[in-house]
């Protein structure tokens, strides 16, 4: 393991049999592969003309931006729901 990998703060399972998804090298590889796939799908719009129903959905990278904003909105709604639906620890006590 290199010095760079050992300094990364990633949750790791205790013991010698760490899961492959918790290794810093695997996490870095997944980020790189995901970024390359996202870039290729956005760059594919130069070769494939997208004709949307509205003006905005024909813009370059609209799907990526829209997907990110929807995901961020779902996270924020989940946080608000978590606060609204949370009960105190002694909720079921007599």
Residues 25 and 54 in one domain: no
Backbone angles phi and psi of 28, in degrees to 5: -60, -45
Residue 64: per-residue pLDDT: 86
Residues 40 and 15 in one domain: yes
Tally of structural domains, the chain:
2
Predicted confidence (pLDDT) at residue 4 exceeds the cutoff of 60: no
Residues 53 and 17 in one domain: no
Residues 43 and 57 in one domain: no
Residues 72 and 90 in one domain: yes
Q: Which residues does 3 contact at the CB level (< 8 Å), separation at least 6?
A: none
**Contact between 50 and 41 (Cβ < 8 Å):** no
Residues 8 and 26 in one domain: yes
Residue 85: per-residue pLDDT: 92
Pick 88 or 75 by higher pLDDT. Answer: 75
Residue 37: DSSP 8-state: H
User: pLDDT digits over 16-29, tens only?
Assistant: 667 888 888 899 99
Other CB atoms within a 10 A radius of the CB of residue 58 amount to: 13
Residues 40 and 71 in one domain: no
Residue 69: per-residue pLDDT: 96
């Amino acid at each position: 393991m290199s010095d760079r990998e050992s300094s990364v703060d990633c949750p790791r399972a205790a013991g010698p049999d760490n899961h492959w998804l918790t290794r810093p090298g695997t996490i870095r590889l997944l980020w790189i592969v995901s970024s390359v796939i996202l870039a290729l799908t956005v760059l594919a719009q130069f070769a494939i003309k997208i004709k949307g129903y509205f003006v905005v959905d024909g813009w370059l990278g609209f799907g990526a931006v829209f997907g990110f904003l929807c995901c961020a909105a779902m996270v924020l709604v989940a946080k608000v729901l978590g606060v609204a639906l949370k009960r105190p620890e002694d909720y079921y006590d007599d």
